[in-house]
Amino acid sequence: MPKAQETVIEINLAALEHNFNFFKSKLHKKTKFLAVVKASGYGSEASIVAKYLEQLNVDYFAVAYTKEGIVLRNAGIKTPILVLHPQTVNFEALIDHCLEPNLYNARLLNKFLKITQKKRLRDYPIHIKFNTGLNRLGFSENEVDFIIERLSKTNNLKVKSIFSHLAASEDMNESDFTLRQIQKFKGIANKFKKQIGYEIMLHQLNTSGILNYPEAQFDMVRCGIGLYGFGNDTDYTKQLMNVTTLKSVISQIHSIKPNESVGYNRAFKSSEATKTATIPIGHADGIYRAFGNGVGYVSIMGKKAPVVGNVCMDMIMVNITYIDCREGDEVIIFDNQETVVKLANNINTIPYEILTALSHRIKRIVK
């Protein structure tokens, strides 16, 4: 790749394919693969990622909201798309774009059924979520009879899958809790399948679940953060490849005299002669203010350059006193999983947040 001349996110499709194949290798032959591409493909670019994965014959996509699914349809994606958190106000648009809703309580089930009846739709695909311990979204196990009763009286809807979500699949100290979730889901699934009268898919595993609980693959798994290079475990992450690289350039270099300050609120005051570089990326782009005052850093000419003073909305300043560089030189904010993890740890967060915070105004390019 040519060196960056502006702030860009490079998307490495070869790395994406490597990660996809890594997780596919963990699955039984008949287990389907659902790729989670919500939040702009975890900060990359959902349509780019989805188009490539579609070529690799992924079985399903999942997004959080209807709007994200529409973006994929408008990009030409034909693969089924599960909308994990649909809002009733978007049901019409969801149907218009052939998206498949997760119906997780009676309110949504009744409202979606009413719309499909009005439109005289038949066997519209839906997914039913059950709460097995995450306590976020989902029907309770004692609502199976209610769901079956509602569905038995209509031909407007057809269940494609029932599913649940693990709360702590990455934490082996919580394995007893996770195993109870899996057993609870098995019980729900057995009851549901006996009553529904036709074949449905079951799925519960996320990225960490695929790695830690292979016995619970059921009919399909859902892989999100793993596709982008993070296994929620150091050993697994080492076997994956980084998909997104964040780069920028040096806009200007300043020579700061002793006792001069840099940036808003004069947060940095020099005790000695210092050189700083200004870089066109800031908290509006996802570089948190928490990275200011030396907490965060970038790489220039292969050397660490810590952030000086406060992070601005559109810029950061970094210390380059001991780095031989020029205006226009390339700056690496991160280009590997290790750096993302370190940056996340520095501000007490997780790689998910670092990646998904990246602004849409940053140019995306395919590597």
Q: Give the domain CATH number at 254.
A: 2.40.37.10
Q: What is the pLDDT of residues 89-110, one digit of tens each?
A: 999 999 999 999 999 999 999 9
Residues designated catalytic = 38, 264
User: Which residue range is the domain that position 344 belongs to?
Assistant: 244-366
Same domain, residue pair 198 and 71: yes
> Beta strands 201-203 and 157-163: pairing type?
parallel
Q: For residue 170, is it within any domain?
A: yes
Same domain, residue pair 57 and 198: yes
Q: Which residues of 37-62 are buried (b: 16+ CB within 10 A; e: fewer)?
A: bbbbbbbbbbbbbbbbbbeeebbbbb
Average confidence (pLDDT) over 275-279 = 98
Determine what percent of the chain is predicted with pLDDT higher than 90.
99
Same domain, residue pair 139 and 34: yes
Domain boundary among 204, 238, 272: 238
Same domain, residue pair 272 and 323: yes
Cα–Cα distance measured from residue 81 to residue 126, given in angstroms and rounded to the nearest whole number: 11
Task: Say what the pLDDT of residue 286 is.
Answer: 97
Whether the pTM exceeds 0.75: the reply is yes
Q: How many domains does the chain have?
A: 2
Domain boundary among 213, 238, 263: 238
Q: For residue 7, is it within any domain?
A: no
Same domain, residue pair 282 and 266: yes
Amino acid at 363: K
Chain Cα centroid distance, residue 12: 16
Cα–Cα distance measured from residue 220 to residue 163, given in angstroms and rounded to the nearest whole number: 10
**Sequence-ordered alpha helix ranges (H) in 91-201:** 91-96, 106-118, 144-152, 175-196
Task: Say what the pLDDT of residue 2 is.
Answer: 84
Average confidence (pLDDT) over 336-361 = 98
Q: For residue 8, is it within any domain?
A: no
Domain at 122, CATH number: 3.20.20.10
Same domain, residue pair 248 and 228: no
Same domain, residue pair 83 and 221: yes
Q: What is the largest CA-CA distance in the chain?
A: 79
Task: Say what the pLDDT of residue 1 is.
Answer: 76
Q: What is the pLDDT of residues 43-66, one digit of tens each?
A: 999 999 999 999 999 999 999 999
Q: pLDDT class for 319, splitting at 50, 70, 90?
A: very high
Domain boundary among 211, 238, 265: 238
Average confidence (pLDDT) over 301-305 = 98
Q: For residue 299, is it within any domain?
A: yes
Task: Say what the pLDDT of residue 317 is.
Answer: 98
Cα–Cα distance measured from residue 280 to residue 347, given in angstroms and rounded to the nearest whole number: 21
Task: Say what the pLDDT of residue 367 is.
Answer: 87
pLDDT above 90 (res 246):
yes
Cα–Cα distance measured from residue 310 to residue 187, given in angstroms and rounded to the nearest whole number: 53
Q: What is the pLDDT of residues 117-155, one digit of tens each?
A: 999 999 999 999 999 999 999 999 999 999 999 999 999
The pLDDT mean for the chain works out to 97
Q: For residue 199, is it within any domain?
A: yes
Same domain, residue pair 84 and 211: yes
